[in-house]
Structure 1
Amino acid sequence: MISVYRILKVSILSVILTFSLLINGVYAADAPDPTIDDIIELSKRYPDSAFLLLKKLHHESVLKQDNRTTGICLQQMGEICYAQGHLAQSLDYYHQAHKLFTQLKDKGLLANNFNDVGTVYYQNLDKVTSRKQYDQAMRLYSDIKDRAGLGETYGNIGHLYEKEQRYDSAFYYQQRALKEYSHIDHKRGMAKIYENLGSIFEDLERYDSARYYFDKSLILYKKVNNQVSSIEVINNIGDILRKTGKYKDGLLYSQQALKMSLDTKNEYQEASAYRDIAKAYNLLGIQDSAFYYLELSRKHSLNIYSDQNNRQMSFLKIIYDTDKKNDEIARLENGRKINFIIGTAVVVVIALLIVMGLLTISRQRLKLRESKAIAEKNEQLNLAQQAQLELKSKELTTHTLQVIQHNQFLESIRDKMEEMIKEEKRDQKRQLQQLVKQIGQNINQDQQWKDFTTMFEGLHQSFFDNLKNHCADLTVNDMRLIALLKMNMSSKDMAVIFGISQDSLRVARYRLRKKLNIDQGDNLSAFIQTI
């Protein structure tokens, strides 16, 4: 898997270094796009131009609130400062990038930043802190399954162990790195690990194994056209040959490294090749040639040292001038912004006060009108509801009294007829019994109960709904009894309405208490009033 961070990094650096090379007059319009190795190498040659362009891109991305680009620019500025030997400034940029990447919750960007910070701490001889940074990177890469990132981190950890001469651990982590790179056929990464393994075996003086891994590394570096790393490996092979007594073969490799250094105009590798050639001639006993090439090596090393010092001084001046310029720009921009904000704020506040004043007056008037209209409407509605309730209550009471009077009248007739039955002759009894039966059937007619129920529900709309929610298995007679209890009807009147004795009414009340699950000491009528 190719990390998104690496794609963004190459894209940003490509743009920056294209401008940088155009500025320095070394980049043709029809030249092919630079590889990552070209970019890294060219950024070393033109760090000041690259840094200025990064600063500009950083400023633009801050204005656009593009945290991702801002963070990557900070990280690249950290890399340039690291390459120039300014470790403190480098760490500062890395820490700023870390804050932005944390806000973005981008594990890939965070892991890459941890790796870079670990390298800075390693160069600062703080190996404990360096390892902690690598461990953080390793966990994040594992989470996102970034094999290339894991390979780089394992390689860094292995390099730490190698410098501590803990070769078993160094070899273990280099093998893990090689496994990750091999899984995705990452040739450049595999070449670097083979080179590291060769270096471990060289330290252990196992030169055959060292040569084996250096050869594998060189093949892969040539496949990816990495000239700089190829020169380093060729120099390493030359060292191996000299250490094993093959001075002439070693000399050939050193001369090959020199030619490639001259072709690529890499003065650092050129100085290294001169030094290795001088060693070979010295071992061969050709002292004049040894002295000649050693002098060339010393000359180029001095040039490199002087050039590096000049570049570092120039770079420090650029950082200082850039920061000073940015601070001045920021101060002026902040001043303009503050003046603009104050002016705008004053206008807006005045306008808001006027609008709020008008709205407040209008709203108060509207509230007064609405309150008055609502009060009048509520008063009318309350009067209508009160009249309607009083009317319904009167109708219900009148209807109930009529039922009671009607039933009492019929009950009295029935009682008289029952007495007549006992006294009259046998042939009249049958007719009187039928009459009594008809009167009994008419004491409590269904229509009367329907009328009563309709009026009661109109007066107490939610009563029966609440009652059914409390107890769903109530019968029609239960509902009628409850309605009369709700009206605070006396037991005597209820018995008359139902056309039953008061003893029967007590039984009905008892059964109702059980259905409603009313405790022994609680009052049935009081319970019904709460529903």
Structure 2
Amino acid sequence: MTSVCGQQNKGDSLKTELSIASEGHKIGILLQLSQYFINVNVDTAMAYGERAMHLAEESKIPIDLARANSQLARIKLITAAYDDALDHLLKAENILMEQDPVDRNELLRVYSNLGSIYERQDELKKSLPYFERAIALLDQLDREANAKTPSPLHAPLLNNMANTLIKMGDTAKAILCHKKGLQYAMAAHDYFHAGNLLNNLGKLYLEQNKIAEAYLHLHQGRVLRKQNQDDRGLASSCRNLALYFMKQQNADSAKHYIAQSIKLYNQIGEMTEPLSGVYMILSEVYLTEKKYDSALISYKLHVVYKDSIYSGDKFKDIARVEAKYEMIKKAQQEKAIQESKEIKTILFICALVAGLIILLLFFAVQRFRSKNQKLQYEQLKLREEKLLTEQQHLQLELDYKRKDIAAQMLFLLKKDELIHKISERIGSVKDEVPSEVQPKLQRITKELHGISKRNDGSWQEFELRFKEVHQDFYAHLEAQFPELTPKERRLCALLKLNMTTKEISSITHQSTRSLEVARTRLRKKLNLTNSEIGLVDFLSKY
């Protein structure tokens, strides 16, 4: 709570400073506000960054222009607008390299962000050298300053470098980078980056099925991010905790963290890429619960967000072409004021050609998007057919088990009926045989009765098969009516199978009268004494 209040006070303090600051100091405060809101609300962070850029362009101070471009690049990186981010960073790098002396601290941030952009675009051979260059520059700055403690920038640099190493397949080295970065962050009391590193370590351990280590790091990362009011980081932690609980087959906890993650991403603003991943996790959770309709809905949302990322990127490309064309057009129009009508004619032709190119690009993108949507629809259709096949398979398996139980009961009936007939035949001829044989017949009859009564093995097998089909029957019955005896629960199972009194009597060796009394007692325990509901109908609900 103290950390959250501190964060809020920092934001309010910066706003107050901005309201009273001179024009020369506003750019720095705007950039601080943009950085403050980058993990709270991306749109607000972008607004402050663009205000800073506008003032920097008016002042034409190189270092302010470089810093404004660098900050806008960070925001574009978060919103997955990688081409825009790269443009801003390359501008910042060019401005910085033209200065004498070079602002190495700002150059360090540019190198770090360039490494992150190339990592996101999977250009790993470009990404890793930028991170290595940034770390070398940071070490140099620490040595020159004779710093007693390492710079806090070590933590985010090592974290981002580890992401590149993961994609390159060097997981062991990535874990070492994360651990080293975590040590730097904790030593510098940099709990923001400590939260990032804990979250990334937890995710790596989860992928390696190191469950205990995964939960420990994910949980600690979530706590730190919550304390620091890092909503974007907290949303990522919740998403990874959902993955953890899905692996643990704890669907309720997984859905709880998914709901928190979705809520946080929606509060932050433009976060279509992570939302697509969260809905994919939710779809998989519903599949484990066999909630196929909910799984399909979640998967469709995943596709919608994924498609919006693709569409957004393509239209950004068109917008970028238009923006560059407008800049060229503006420059040519300014020049055309002092030139001849022939140049104006050429400019008009260029404008017409550029317009046609833009139009062709637009139609090409629309056509490609239409094909992509058709492909997504076909994939969804195939998934629906697969789910339907699985449902039919489960239904067939259930029907088979029901028939198996019926066959088991029929076997019990036939066995007892055969024993009973043999006993009757022996009894009918007992008086006709010599007296010395009669005791033997008497013992045989007694043994047959004993076999008929010793059905415990058959009952155990019956109950095992019964539970396979009606898994929660006994559990629900005992939870609502704990006073039922084992014989009464067994009677409930036979009634659940819709067996007649005569069939139950043959199996349990009870008289019809005894069974009627048992049924009356059972109705009383089930609170059906004054009800017209039959036992079979009542038990069919369980």
* TM-score normalised by the chain length of structure 2: 0.49
Bigger radius of gyration, 1 or 2?
Answer: 1
* TM-score normalised by the chain length of structure 1: 0.50
Q: Does 1 or 2 have the higher relative contact order (CA < 8 Å, sep 6+)?
A: 2
